[in-house]
Chains A and B, each alone.
Chain A
Amino acid sequence: MENLGYLFAVYTIVWAVMFGYVLILIRGQNKLRQEIQQLKDSIKEKSP
């Protein structure tokens, strides 16, 4: 039963990497959305 550590290691790592990857993607997308919004606003301000 001492091999249980290896089992948990695999499942934790796979989980963590997947979770991290999704998190990075979501964060990036949010930042992107903000930037696009800012840009749109600034364009609107220039030419009302």
Chain B
Amino acid sequence: MLSRILLALSLVLLVTSLALIFFVVPTERTMGVVQRIFYWHVPLAWNSFLAFFVVFIASVAYLWKRTKNWDILASASAEVGVVFTTLFLISGSIWAKPIWGVWWTWEPRLTTALVLWLIYIAYLLVRAYASSSERGARFAAVVGIVGFLDVPIVFLSITLWRTQHPSAVIFTGGLADPRMILTLVVSIFTFTALYALLLVQRVAFKKGEEDLRRLKRLAESE
């Protein structure tokens, strides 16, 4: 039921967001039409961060309560977060090409996202490398906590590093037109709904796998 509502909501928002981006919002003067990437680029970043925050909270809760559901929530959110971060990196890189003539720029936010991406890939890998799933859950929770607390320090260090070695900066800020703000806000809601939808789906999937495992055990011991 919840996933039906979320599916409908995200579809409606998605269409609205696309309509706003392609038909309503005015073209930004300095960057031209590619600036419209911004309206999805930013929500992706925002929701990656939200996803990793959820991983952090669920990891703390898992270590505290030791209930499987917290672990399922954490790992599902990490996976969706990695998908969002990947898309954020791709969109940032495609945006950099026409504006700066390069596919990659060591812009602080982009660089921080790259480091984050690597941390959460490691998060997903630790689970696979652990010798038992309970251990994997515990180790992943530790990485989820440590990794998230690392984010502000990573961002600070990269920002400070860039101010000393200046280079291309994607976010020149300045949303002059109210229609731009509206589009951004709608897009942020769109991706938040998408995040919620994917999370709910992924959690249900993982719970199903868990049930299947339990059933199989039951069938074996019959």
Tell me the A residues contacting B by CB distance below 8 Å.
1, 3-4, 6-7, 9-11, 13-14, 17-18, 21-22, 25-26, 28-29, 32-33, 35-36, 39-40, 42-43, 46-47
Contact A6 B219 (CB under 8 A): no
Contact B33 A7 (CB under 8 A): yes
Give the number of residue pairs across the A-B interface with Cβ within 8 Å.
77
Contact B33 A32 (CB under 8 A): no
Known: A22-B198, A47-B222. 18 other contacts (CB 8 A): A3-B32, A3-B34, A6-B98, A7-B33, A7-B34, A10-B40, A10-B91, A11-B40, A13-B87, A17-B87, A21-B83, A29-B204, A32-B209, A35-B212, A36-B211, A39-B212, A39-B215, A39-B216
Q: Does B61 sit within 8 A of A, measured CB to CB? A: no
Residue of B nearest to A11 (CB): B40
Q: How far is the CB of A4 from chain B (nearest CB, A)?
A: 6
Contact A14 B40 (CB under 8 A): yes
Residue of B nearest to A20 (CB): B83
Interface residues of B toward A: which range?
Answer: 20 to 34
Q: Does B68 sit within 8 A of A, measured CB to CB? A: no
* Known interface pairs A6-B37, A39-B212; A13-B91 also in contact (CB < 8 Å): yes
In the assembled complex, the Cα of A32 lies from the Cα of B211 at a distance in Å of 10
Which B residues from 95 to 114 make CB contacts under 8 A with A?
95, 97-98
* Known interface pairs A3-B34, A25-B205; A36-B215 also in contact (CB < 8 Å): yes
Q: Does B157 sit within 8 A of A, measured CB to CB? A: no
Residue of A nearest to B44 (CB): A14
Residue of A nearest to B92 (CB): A10
B17-46 contact mask (Cβ, 8 Å, vs A): 1 or 0: 010000000000000111011001100100
In the assembled complex, the Cα of A8 lies from the Cα of B171 at a distance in Å of 20
Contact A46 B222 (CB under 8 A): yes
Contact B219 A42 (CB under 8 A): yes
Q: Does B138 sit within 8 A of A, measured CB to CB? A: no
Contact A7 B36 (CB under 8 A): yes
Contact B87 A14 (CB under 8 A): yes
Q: Does B162 sit within 8 A of A, measured CB to CB? A: no
11 contacts between A and B (CB under 8 A): A10-B40, A17-B86, A25-B201, A25-B202, A25-B205, A28-B205, A29-B204, A32-B212, A36-B211, A40-B215, A43-B219
